[in-house]
């Protein structure tokens, strides 16, 4: 059986997860959540006229390696919010993306827009983590959630007040998301098993999304023209990472993306 890039990432995620579970019990996470303020609702921002931007705090990636040092994730997130980002995505996977739950907490403390925990979530524990550390949204990737696991995690996310962003890459995965009743559906132009990017995947798959859903385009954005194209293809929201952390002026870049 061929081992994909995603398989390698998930193996590392499971190892790191086991370590965190040995340090912080589920009961402790639940206690933190009970004391946490209610999560923010991203849907009004996502459904606003024009295109909305989810701006990502992203230090590195398996495909591009080091992207930016980001010594102060909170300051970067504040610049994103000042530029008009509808939400901030924080990568919390450590091995391949250089993120952490502490990044999530620091961003949450700095901004008043919704925050997405971007990680490879495969267990209920990680959703409790997301809420305990301040997330308002959580990413659920259909490709890594077989059988009833997607349904279980989607249901738990809703119970916790998290908005699930259900990510897809194929027509079959969209069918699973739609059957689930997902309200926020992402189409990732990057194939996580190979890391190859094809933005036309969004153009091909977007017509299969329900009109009532929030359509999020992920990956493949180099500049405003790419955001504009996604918008023409039906995207309500575009998630942007690399182009922003490398821009040198993320606040102005987001304004350009929104105005594209």
Tell me the CATH number at 245.
3.20.20.70
Domain that holds residue 137: 5-259
The answer to whether the beta carbons of residues 174 and 208 sit under 8 Å apart is yes
Q: Where are the alpha helices (DSSP H) in the chain?
A: 5-23, 26-35, 43-46, 73-83, 101-110, 124-132, 149-159, 171-180, 200-205, 224-232, 242-245, 250-258
DSSP state of 3: P
- Residues serving a catalytic function are 56, 58, 118, 167, 188, 218-219
- Note the pLDDT of residue 85: 97
What sign has the CA pseudo-torsion 118, 119, 125, 129? negative
- Note the pLDDT of residue 96: 87
Separation in Å, CA 181 to CA 15, 102, 202, 215: 31, 32, 20, 14
Element (H, E) at 105: helix 101-110
Separation in Å, CA 192 to CA 98, 141, 170: 17, 10, 11
DSSP state of 36: S
- Note the pLDDT of residue 245: 80
Contacts of 80 (CB under 8 A, 6+ apart): 55, 88, 111, 244, 250, 251, 254
Read off the pTM.
0.95
pLDDT in tens, the chain (260 residues): 678 889 999 999 999 999 999 999 999 999 999 999 999 999 999 999 999 999 999 888 777 767 777 889 999 999 999 999 999 999 999 998 999 999 999 999 999 999 999 999 999 999 999 999 999 999 999 999 998 999 999 999 999 999 999 999 999 999 999 999 999 999 999 998 888 999 999 999 999 999 999 999 999 999 999 999 999 999 999 999 888 888 889 999 999 999 86
- Note the pLDDT of residue 134: 97
- Total number of domains in the chain: 1
What's the distance, CA 125 to chain centroid?
Answer: 17
């Amino acid at each position: 059986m061929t081992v994909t890039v995603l398989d390698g990432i998930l193996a590392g995620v499971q190892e790191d997860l086991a370590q965190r579970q040995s340090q912080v019990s589920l009961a402790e996470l639940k206690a933190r959540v009970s004391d946490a303020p209610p999560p923010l609702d991203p849907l009004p921002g996502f459904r606003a006229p024009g295109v909305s931007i989810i701006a990502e705090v992203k230090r590195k990636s398996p495909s591009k390696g080091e992207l930016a040092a980001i010594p102060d994730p909170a300051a970067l997130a504040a610049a994103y919010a000042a530029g008009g980002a509808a939400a901030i995505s924080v990568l919390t996977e450590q091995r391949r993306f250089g993120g952490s739950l502490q990044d999530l907490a620091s961003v949450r403390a700095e901004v008043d827009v919704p925050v997405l925990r971007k990680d490879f979530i495969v267990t209920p524990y990680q959703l409790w983590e997301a809420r305990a550390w301040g997330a308002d949204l959580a990413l659920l990737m259909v490709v890594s959630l077989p059988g009833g696991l997607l349904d279980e995690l989607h249901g738990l996310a809703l119970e916790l007040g998290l908005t699930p962003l259900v990510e897809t890459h194929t027509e079959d995965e969209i069918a699973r998301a739609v059957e689930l009743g997902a309200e926020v559906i992402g189409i990732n132009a990057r194939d996580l098993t190979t890391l190859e990017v094809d933005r036309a995947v969004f153009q091909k798959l977007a017509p299969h999304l329900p009109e009532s859903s929030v359509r999020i385009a992920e990956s493949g954005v180099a500049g405003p023209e790419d955001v504009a194209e996604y918008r023409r293809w039906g995207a309500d929201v575009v998630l942007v990472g690399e182009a922003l952390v490398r821009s040198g002026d993320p606040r102005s870049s987001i304004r350009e993306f929104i105005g594209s």
